[in-house]
Structure 1
Amino acid sequence: MKQHYDAIIVGGGVMGSSIAYQLSKRNMQVLIIEKDGMAKKASSAAAGMLGAQSELEGDHQLFPLAQQSRAMFPVVAEELKSLSGIDIELKQTGILKVAQTEDELTHLKSVAALQRSMGQEAEWLSAEKIRMKEPELSAAALGGFYIPNDGQVSAPLLSKAFAQSAAVLGTDMLEYTKVDSFIRKDNRIIGVKTTAGTYYAEEIVVAGGAWSSHILQKAGESLDVYPVKGECFAVQHDQQMISSSIFLTNGYIVPKSGGRLIIGATQKPGDFDQTVHLHGLSGLIANATNMIPALKEAKWENAWAGIRPQTGDDLPYIGRCPHVNGLSVAAGHFRNGILLSPITGILVADLLEGKPVDDTFAIDRKLLEEVNS
């Protein structure tokens, strides 16, 4: 393995792998350093919804970026399959955002109207029409809107496909390797010392998800990224009960192939513990079976927890550290990491080639100060 690279990426989740893929496409020599196995954290735990319209309302600052990234998936799916042989299971069967109270009904009607005024497809469905579309939904569904352009992928397969495609293009990878410290020369980060040796690069990108702030502290930087634990579970049913993903205020139900459904997710800020607790699952089970009573007959498969990276203002950090050269960050995508992975890879690759990134995501938009000042 080489010791000198054009770019080193610290973090081997979907974000780090997408960045490596884009940099490798541009003929850069790239090394990914991952403290665990590739895509073992939030990237493998996600349900894989591409919820540009269901997760983000039309006036959210991330909305335009999310739309752009969602539109990339058909091409990304083809590219990754041709390089890695992995089918990311892209399904463009839409997402149904459902109201369960009168207040939610009023709010969702206004959201659907706003999105239609922006040229987005958002079909409002009454309680009667929503059950015509998805007959297994109970009377708890008072109405909602159908978003045909939102979809889903397999989050673990997407992460694996980005990583393997990057490897095919020449990216090196070090798994189960921790970054002990950053090497600084004058006011520039030029390399990293790890448990597997020392490596140098022209550019270093921290894409460590919820652990990014801990990693950056080793370089004397502080970043407002914190963990939000999310518990999920999967069940199996003999029939395909729903065709579209169901997005609720208190969770989601995502149909996968072969009658499998992923149901989630709890939100526990500040928690790095990946233990699954009965209290969290009991609430998810109650919500899901209230919406789809037939789920009571489904067979249990498994449960897990993912640690999602959140920021104080719900916007990811994508940009260069303002106090030191050669160090950039792509972190804080929270529940939209899978959706935003294609566009983030491109933005960071552009950044490292000298192209500007929208100030909305620049990492100095909030307090980012040297710890050792």
Structure 2
Amino acid sequence: MSLALGTRHGCVMQSEIRTMSIACAKAGGINLSQGVCDTPVPREVSGSVARAVAEGCNTYTHYAGLKALREAIALKQKRFSGQDVDPESEVIVSAGATGAMYCAFQALLSPGDEVIVFEPFYGYHVSTLVAAEAVPVSVPLALPGWSFTAHDLERAVTSRTRGIIVNTPANPSGKVFSREDLEVIAAFAERYDLFVFTDEIYEHFLYDGHRHTSFASLPGMKARTITVSGFSKTFSITGWRLGYAICDARWASAIGYFNDLVYVCAPSPLQAAVAEGMRLLDDSYYRALSREYVKKRDRFCDALRQAGLSPHVPEGAYYVLADTGDLPGRSATRKAMYILEKTGLASVPGSAFFSEGRGDDLVRFCFAKEDAVLDEACRRLALLRQGS
């Protein structure tokens, strides 16, 4: 038989995050690998689903999403970033932030276009670029502080460079790009006429006084920025698959057409529930997220230190990269499996977030867990130090 897989299948192989989640399930462990965020859904959001279904919100929506949700997104962007957004022409609701990013890449990139990504990167950004037949080009961030310079960007640019991805707060590093960082990127994007694709889904998870600056709010940047975010993390609804893109109307229509082709629309009753939840929740809810999660971060990082795994303490998001110290194994995958075998805790090999040959001395943990689960995870980490 001469049948064979197509050439694109290699870019969508199972991620190491899902691989570790499956291994964790088999072991009956605690999954700190995937960012599933199993904290409670706010009642203002969850309580609106049944009502939306009962009121008949069960059919296809406009390909760009329910008008009420697009209006809520525009109001939120104005409230938190000061940006004026037209909900009729500049917002596309999609099947999660990854869905919005995928449609943006399909609409705006051509085969062979190069897109700069900061490393460590979120693997789905890279895989989604490759699925669009674009070429990711890494710019490594330097420790301490996951820093970069304008010179680092200049070394990565070529005549084929079409865009750059900015993930802030970042997965997996927890870096919050400062306004100064973003101004360096803005000058670079303007100099080379690049699209800037931002992933801002962790915008409300901020610690130690760090502030989120939405890239499109910088002077002159709105026209070239595709702002991607969503509700999975903020409302603990990762399985609802609701995200969005905000951008200039010139790009939004093309992104919307791909959204229609691939997804038709995001689930309509869930869109309605989130729109209602956003209307009911005030700013105190979002501020409370940072207060709640900084406690989780600090408790978990302390446990990592006591276990001999030195953490790179995140400024935002809800992941922590930790040095593997003297754990056995030559690869990050082997070290992550050792942790799972010894403690029942699943992490992600650091190599999943770096180009080949890097990241083998790191693992990533997710601390978006209810307190009782996180306490048990901290207790189990101590088994590494005990050598049990």
Could you state the TM-score of these two structures normalised by the residue count of structure 2? Answer: 0.26
* Higher share of residues assigned helix: 2
* Higher share of residues assigned strand: 1
